[in-house]
């Protein structure tokens, strides 16, 4: 395949097999939409996905199917990886966009209960590590295999939906760098770090939050899920000599 920009964009995803963890909404849904539009074969993995039937056919080019995955449950992760091995046979792109959080003021540690800490850390960090571990054999058989982890500018600024979320995303940034070393040269690993996005979750935090975020952002606006998805696809197929970095898609909020 030609390494020109137009060729990489037009043919880089045709027939590629991708898993988007957390692909049912937000950033994940935008990534799935773009991948299928480019001819990829996509599995949308989420807690609301279809039961794992080993007799099910793999998605066709430009098609997405759903499959059940709960990142807070190691048994669910293992079952999903076994299913993917039986149905897909290989994996070219893994996008980790799943994760649960809840808005808790950073100074209100009394509101950060044990259950929330465990949920946020597991769904945003430790569950992702388990998923990557269990899918590595499929990635090893992939074509130009790449892992893209959706991070957050919170890992750099220390300001996010809550303290546990900040810690989980910072942990995944470190894991992204470590995996880039551990899995090289076969598998590239990158992160994409948005700030608050123009989504119902951000708007649900109130207009004051939106106004303060926009005022602290050099470009003076929130990024969109489409812009984050654009970065994911570029990381996967255009930045072919890049690994181990986290790319900010945050309007300059990290500055």
pLDDT tens digits for 174-227?
A: 999 999 999 999 999 999 999 876 665 555 566 776 777 777 788 887 888 999
User: What six digits make up the tokens of 19?
Assistant: 């898993």
Q: 33 an active-site residue? A: no
Residues 184, 245: Cα–Cα separation, whole Å: 13
Mean per-residue pLDDT for 86-98?
A: 97
Check 46, 97, 126, 169 and give the catalytic one.
169
Residues 18, 5: Cα–Cα separation, whole Å: 21
Q: 169 an active-site residue? A: yes
Domain extent, residue 227, equals 5-249
What letter would DSSP give residue 123? I
Residues 71, 29: Cα–Cα separation, whole Å: 17
Instruction: Specify the number of domains making up the chain.
Output: 1
Mean predicted lDDT score pLDDT of the chain: 91
Residues 229, 242: Cα–Cα separation, whole Å: 17
Check 152, 161, 181, 195 and give the catalytic one.
152
Q: 165 an active-site residue? A: yes
**Structure confidence at residue 200 (pLDDT):** 55
In a domain, 254, yes or no: no
In a domain, 115, yes or no: yes
Give which of 138, 155, 163 is closest to 246, Cα–Cα: 155
In a domain, 229, yes or no: yes
Predicted confidence band of residue 18 (pLDDT cuts 50, 70, 90):
very high
User: What six digits make up the tokens of 226?
Assistant: 């489409």
Mean per-residue pLDDT for 37-53?
A: 97
CATH number of domain containing 60: 3.40.50.720
Over residues 94-140, the pLDDT tens digits come to: 999 999 998 888 889 999 999 999 999 999 999 999 999 999 999 99
In a domain, 97, yes or no: yes
* Residue 52: strand, helix, or coil: coil
Check 46, 123, 161, 165 and give the catalytic one.
165
Length, in residues, of the chain: 255
């Amino acid at each position: 395949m030609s390494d020109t920009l137009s060729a990489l964009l037009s043919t880089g995803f045709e027939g590629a097999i991708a898993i988007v963890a957390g692909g049912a909404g937000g950033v994940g849904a935008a990534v799935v939409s773009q991948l299928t539009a480019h001819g990829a074969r996509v599995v949308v993995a989420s807690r609301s996905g279809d039961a794992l039937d080993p007799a099910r056919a793999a998605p066709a080019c430009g098609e997405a199917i759903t499959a059940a995955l709960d990142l807070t449950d190691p048994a669910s992760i293992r079952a999903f990886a076994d299913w993917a091995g039986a149905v897909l046979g290989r994996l070219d792109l893994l996008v980790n966009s799943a994760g649960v959080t809840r808005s808790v003021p950073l100074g209100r540690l009394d509101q950060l209960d044990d259950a929330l800490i465990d949920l946020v850390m597991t769904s945003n960090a430790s569950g992702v590590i388990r998923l990557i571990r269990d899918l590595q054999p499929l990635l090893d058989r992939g074509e130009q295999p790449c892992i893209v982890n959706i991070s957050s500018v919170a890992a750099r600024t220390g300001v996010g939906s809550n303290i546990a979320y900040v810690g989980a995303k910072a942990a995944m940034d470190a894991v992204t760098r470590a995996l880039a070393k551990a899995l090289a040269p076969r598998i590239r690993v990158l992160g994409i770090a948005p700030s608050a996005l123009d989504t119902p979750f951000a708007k649900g935090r109130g207009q004051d939050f939106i106004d303060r975020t926009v005022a602290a952002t050099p470009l003076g606006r929130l990024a969109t899920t489409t812009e984050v998805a654009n970065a994911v696809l570029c990381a996967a197929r255009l930045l072919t000599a890049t690994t181990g970095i986290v790319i900010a898609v945050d309007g300059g909020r990290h500055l």
